[in-house]
A and B are shown apart, each in its own frame.
Chain A
């Protein structure tokens, strides 16, 4: 038997092709996975931006307003009490009648008056208060259109023109406005400054953004110091025994507990027992601090662990106390990691809605909150509320709010990256 025995080099060469093929295949899987992820994000963004970009512009109608004292029912524009009593919507109605002629029957009049949002009255009042000389004078103004007009105007020309709430007369009126260029889209500043409203054209995310900021401030104030202190104690001072193991397991468990459970805890303990104000940012902040605390502790411990032991030894070796080692060396070196963890925790808290539903932050709140105890709602809950509303115009509001939320999240994550890059030290 003189069978040819392959040499080592031959065996290796024979297997090389297979190995390279396997590597190429593996790379392809990776590229496919990444592309799939990117595609999903792209689809999501296209959908949201496609639906939501309209929220940043609102339809306005140009009308000639005559501040007639008789129609208003006030004699003097300098007395604030009298100003508040004026019938400003009557001014708008009068202007509409002059522009389009007054329909004879009631239904027609109501249809005509519904062209303009009832917010226009308040704007006229503000203008008159700012400039009392306007009483008896006239001016041409762009007034906020009703949401049905807005929805029709934005969908105009597209495949799915929104006409279901537009009668023939309405269409005729807006056509005449369109001819004269008296209807147009303007930048919607109110979207960013106003609170929620039942009228979609008046609804804004100002209240929700402010509520989110107030809530996050409380969350950060509570979870960062407590989380860092707990992490330092567990890493640097705690004895290694069964108790600390038990605590560690529980912290890891808490990080995985569904956040709605924390909301129920907040309801049972903070509202029912401690009687904290419901729907308030201070309560939402406390609950979200509980949600993010495990994450902050875990990331802070990881940051502390990554500080090389040689630095601790060096400080101990020249006679630093453990406290001085921690404050002077471990903490500054671990800070970038801790901050990154905290910001990512905050980003998570910003996107949380479930626990806040449990503590009443889902209430319909029109006013922009001014303090930590004012009733408020937050961005994700506002999105949830609008997504639940039947009016057509809320669709773009919902997507617009999602865009703002995503912008905040991107900003926070970018901040985390920048902080890590800038504070990172090499040793």
Chain B
């Protein structure tokens, strides 16, 4: 790696038009590392996302390994959340948003006309940045998806789903005596785990997490991270995070995004110990971001 390239990369964060131009030359390269894996749950190729005239994602190709946690990192506005939301077509609801490219979930094209976004979102669940429980009881929050999709109709089945999901989310012992109380009355960390319980109650194949810990304190964060590690045994997880430590702690693979491009993908250990791209190294060493 040349010193000049690093300097120009780190200068990108500073204002100055000519430096940004210089820096953008680095971005024309293809993704470094190993974006594709053999046992992939989801495959994406040539992904471009536009918000009206503005392009947010440029030609990204990435595989998400089965029963693995993949972390997506990068500076603000790099497109990692946009890419994540393209994976269960949440971007469909954004006015003016257009997505092109190939997205396969177990060899099924998720943007095919016959793919119903509602059915897709039942298979690819999502946990959001800000805990967003419904203003209903804890029980109803978890039971909502199961009721919606008709997974459990009788009360006793619903009870099982609710207890199982809350146990998996590590929340059962804390809330079992107050299931009828509103979910919004829990603490922030508990609310986020409630949202995770709500997501896994419909037994999705993939769980997308968009900065799930950014609104939580360190202790609640640690609980959620533990939970992610446990869930990885049964689920495929894609997590967007601002915290590199978090990516290093919870993920098997890490993808680094920069200005809408996928710069580098590798095993998490490789990314954090010997990054192959100048931009990745600049970011993880705190030169910018």
27 intermolecular pairs with C-beta atoms under 8 Å apart? A239-B95, A240-B96, A310-B128, A310-B130, A310-B132, A311-B132, A312-B93, A313-B93, A313-B128, A314-B195, A315-B144, A317-B125, A318-B121, A318-B125, A318-B145, A318-B148, A318-B198, A319-B119, A319-B121, A319-B149, A319-B202, A322-B93, A333-B135, A425-B135, A426-B135, A426-B184, A427-B184
In the complex with contacts A313-B132, A317-B121, A324-B199 CB distance below 8 A: no
Residue interface mask A274-316, B partner, CB < 8 A = 1 = 0000000000000000000000000000000000101111111
Say yes or no: B121 contacts A324, CB within 8 Å: no
**Minimum CB–CB distance for A426 against chain B, Å:** 7
7 smallest beta-carbon distances between A and B, as pairs: A319-B122, A317-B126, A310-B132, A318-B145, A319-B121, A314-B132, A427-B135
Q: Please, which residues of chain A bring their CB within 8 A of the CB of B90?
A: 313, 316-317
**Bound: A316/B85 CA distance, A:** 12
Chain A hits for B195, CB < 8 A: 314
Q: Does B260 contact A (CB under 8 A)?
A: no
A320 touches B (CB below 8 Å): yes
- A170 in the interface (beta carbon within 8 A): no
CA distance A239 to B94 in the complex (A): 11
A316 touches B121 (CB 8 A): yes
Closest to B141 in A: A314
Among residues of A, the one whose C-beta sits closest to the C-beta of B185 is A426
B144 touching A318, Cβ below 8 Å? yes
- Closest chain B CB from A135 CB (angstroms): 70
Do B135 and A319 touch (CB < 8 A)? no
Cβ of A329 under 8 Å from chain B: yes
* A29 to B: closest C-beta gap in Å: 40
**Number of B residues, CB within 8 Å of A:** 29
Which residue numbers of A lie inside 8 Å of B, CB to CB?
Answer: 239-240, 308, 310-322, 324, 329, 333, 425-427
How distant is the Cα of A319 from the Cα of B124 in the complex, in angstroms? 9
Task: Please give me the residue from chain A that is nearest to B122 by CB atom.
Answer: A319
Would you call A324 and B130 a contact (CB within 8 A)? no
B120: shortest Cβ distance to chain A, in Å? 8
Q: Which residues of B contact A319 (CB under 8 A)?
A: 118-122, 125, 145, 148-149, 202
Interface string of B135-156 (1 = CB under 8 A from A): 1000000001100110000000
B169-196 contacts to A (CB < 8 Å): 184, 195
A-side contacts of B149, CB under 8 Å: 319
Q: For residue B140, give the distance in angstroms from its CB to the closest CB of chain A.
A: 10
Write the chain B residue with the least CB distance to A426: B184
B122 partner, pick from A312, A318, A425, beta carbons under 8 A: A318
Q: Scoring B residues 102 to 130 as 1 if CB is less than 8 Å from chain A, else 0, what string do you get?
A: 00000000000000001111100111101
Q: Given that A320-B118, A320-B148, A321-B118 are contacting pairs, would A314 and B202 also be in contact in the complex, using a CB cutoff of 8 Å?
A: no
B133 interface residue per 8 A CB criterion: yes
Contact A316:B144 (CB < 8 A) given known A329-B134, A426-B135, A427-B135: no
Q: How far is the CB of A372 from chain B (nearest CB, A)?
A: 39
Bound CA–CA A240/B97 (angstroms) = 12
Kindly state the separation between the CA atoms of A315 and B122 in the bound complex, as whole angstroms.
Answer: 11
Expressed in whole angstroms, the Cα–Cα distance for A312 and B93 within the complex equals 10
Are B133 and A314 in touch, CB under 8 angstroms? yes
Please determine whether B128 and A314 come into contact, CB atoms closer than 8 angstroms.
yes
Q: Are A311 and B128 in contact (CB under 8 A)?
A: no
Pair B134/A315 contact, Cβ less than 8 Å? yes
Other contacts beyond A317-B125, A318-B198: 9, CB < 8 A = A240-B95, A314-B132, A314-B133, A315-B144, A317-B90, A317-B128, A319-B145, A329-B134, A426-B135
A228 to B128, CA, bound (A): 29
Which residues of A lie under 8 Å from residue B135 when comparing CB positions?
311, 333, 425-427
By a CB distance below 8 angstroms, the chain A residues around B130 are: 310
Q: How many Å from the CB of A404 to the closest CB on chain B? A: 40
Q: How far is the CA of A333 from the CA of B136 in the complex (A)?
A: 11
What is the distance, in angstroms, from A351's C-beta to the closest C-beta of chain B? 35
User: CB-nearest residue of chain B relative to A319?
Assistant: B122
CB distance from B207 to the nearest CB of A (A): 10
Least CB distance from B194 to A in Å reads 11
- Closest beta carbon of chain B to A234's beta carbon, Å: 13
Please give me the residue from chain A that is nearest to B88 by CB atom.
A317
Interface centre among A324, A425, A427 (most CB of B within 10 A): A427
Find the B residue at minimum CB distance from A241: B95
Which of A316, A318, A329, A425 touches B93 (beta carbons < 8 Å)?
A316
Q: Residue of B at shortest CB range from A329? A: B134
Chain A residues, Cβ within 8 Å of B126: 313, 317
Query: In the complex the two chains form, what is the Cα distance from A182 to B127 in whole Å?
Result: 83
A320: B residues at CB distance < 8 A: 118, 148
Which residue on B lies nearest to A239, using beta carbons? B95
A369 to B162, CA, bound (A): 56
User: How far in angstroms is the closest Cβ of chain B from A120?
Assistant: 63
Which residues of B have CB within 8 Å of A317?
A: 88, 90, 121, 125-128, 199
Q: Which parts of B185-225 form the interface with A (CB within 8 Å)?
A: 195, 198-199, 201-202
Contact with A along B38-53 (1 / 0, CB 8 A): 0000000000000000
Inter-chain contacts of B198 with A (CB < 8 A): 314, 318
B48-100 CB contacts (< 8 Å) to partner A: 88, 90, 93, 95-96
Residues of chain A lying within 8 A (CB to CB) of residue B132: 308, 310-311, 313-314
Q: Tell me how far the C-beta of A424 lies from the nearest C-beta in chain B, rounded to whole angstroms.
A: 10
In the complex, what residues of A have CB within 8 A of residue B95's CB? 239-240
Name which residue of chain B comes closest to A333, CB basis: B135
Give the residue name and chain of the B residue nearest to A310 (CB): B132
